[in-house]
Chain A
Amino acid sequence: MASSNNSVAENNKKKTKKPQTSTPTSKIKKDNKNIEKSKENNNKNKKKLNFTNGNSKEQEESGRKKKHAKDDDEEEDAKTHVFPMNRIRTMLKGEISDLRVSQEAILAINNAAEKFLEQLAEDAYGCCAQDRKKSLSYNHLSRVVSKQKRYDFLSDFVPEKVKAEDALRETNSRGNKGG
């Protein structure tokens, strides 16, 4: 039924475009009246549907466009740096509040941090491979830091783990020597 109704509705649409130019017989008129009513309803519904459909489509499209634009931006950004630039900036400002840094310098620091992470990971992996372990643990990192001179600045932050009794013994012996 629905499909036949629709087809009639479509016919009617065509008719309504140039409706009363032809001279319809009364019989047809009567028939049409009934049908027209249902069609009007149908049309209304259709119009509404169409309207909402159109709107939502537009929204979807614009949304997609926006998304695409965003993706493109992100992709482009991904090419030049991995960490968020604003994060780096706030980190720097947190340390020295009146620090003035150009955007290019922040980019350089951003990329340097990535390279540094990769280098550290590679060195730690070397340590890990020496141990023939399949997992990278803190000790591998701290060993790398203590071994290589250029990681000296990390020695306070990534110290080698020491057993408490060893540490105590050391401090005690130092204390004794001092005293």
Chain B
Amino acid sequence: MAETEELPKTIVRRVVKEKLSTCSDDGDIAVHKDALLAFSESARIFIHYLSATANDICRESKRQIINAEDVFKALEETEFAEFVGPLKDSLEEFRKKNAGKKAAVPKGKGDEKGKGDEEKRKRKAEGEPSDKGDGVDDDQ
């Protein structure tokens, strides 16, 4: 398999190690090489599994492009619903960051476009808060 279709091993190791260090009370937990490989493979399969499910959901609603909402629904379908809350938070952060970037680059047309996008986002954000809030509450 091409390396570009795998997840970076160093990042996988870091995520796993960090999680393990918060789990264990005493010292570092060593991770066997084959276990790390299995972690990496599992995450890769999970990404394909999740995207395939999201793709199905997207097609069912007769849309062309998979959006974040499809991914959230796919997570619920695949019994990983508890991820949805935190993911919505980081998506919101991502949107804010992008809006900030657009505002920071003033370009005649771009500005107006950016404003339009921002307004759209705001509307979108306002449309969602109820279920988003629920998700967060459930999780915390």
A: residues with CB less than 8 A from B are 76, 79-84, 87-88, 90-92, 94-96, 99-102, 104-105, 107-109, 111-122, 124-125, 128-129, 134-138, 140-142, 145, 149-150, 153-154, 157-158
Instruction: From B19, B27, B34, B43, give the contact of A137 (CB < 8 A).
Output: B34
B: residues with CB less than 8 A from A are 2, 4-8, 11-12, 14-16, 19-20, 23-24, 27, 29-32, 34-35, 38-39, 41-52, 54-55, 64-68, 70-72, 75, 78-80, 83, 86-87, 90-91, 93-95, 97
User: Besides the contacts A109-B50, A114-B15, A117-B19, what 5 more A-B pairs have beta carbons closer than 8 Å?
Assistant: A92-B48, A111-B87, A125-B19, A138-B34, A150-B79
How far does the alpha carbon of A120 sit from the alpha carbon of B45 in the complex, in Å?
13
Instruction: From B42, B65, B78, B86, give the contact of A150 (CB < 8 A).
Output: B78
A157 touches B31 (CB 8 A): no
Instruction: From B50, B66, B79, B95, give the contact of A99 (CB < 8 A).
Output: B66
The interface centre, meaning the residue of A121, A145, A153, A154 with most chain B CB atoms within 10 A of its CB, is A121
- Interface SS of B by simple majority: helix
Instruction: From B38, B66, B94, give the contact of A80 (CB < 8 A).
Output: B94
B7 touches A102 (CB 8 A): no
Instruction: From B45, B50, B51, give the contact of A154 (CB < 8 A).
Output: B45
B41 touches A107 (CB 8 A): no
The interface centre, meaning the residue of B42, B67, B70, B83 with most chain A CB atoms within 10 A of its CB, is B42
A109 with B80: in contact, given A88-B47, A99-B55, A140-B35 (CB under 8 Å)?
A: no
The interface centre, meaning the residue of A104, A117, A124 with most chain B CB atoms within 10 A of its CB, is A117
Instruction: From B4, B78, B79, give the contact of A90 (CB < 8 A).
Output: B4
Give every chain A residue within 8 A of B38 (Cβ-Cβ). 138, 141-142, 158
A76 touches B24 (CB 8 A): no
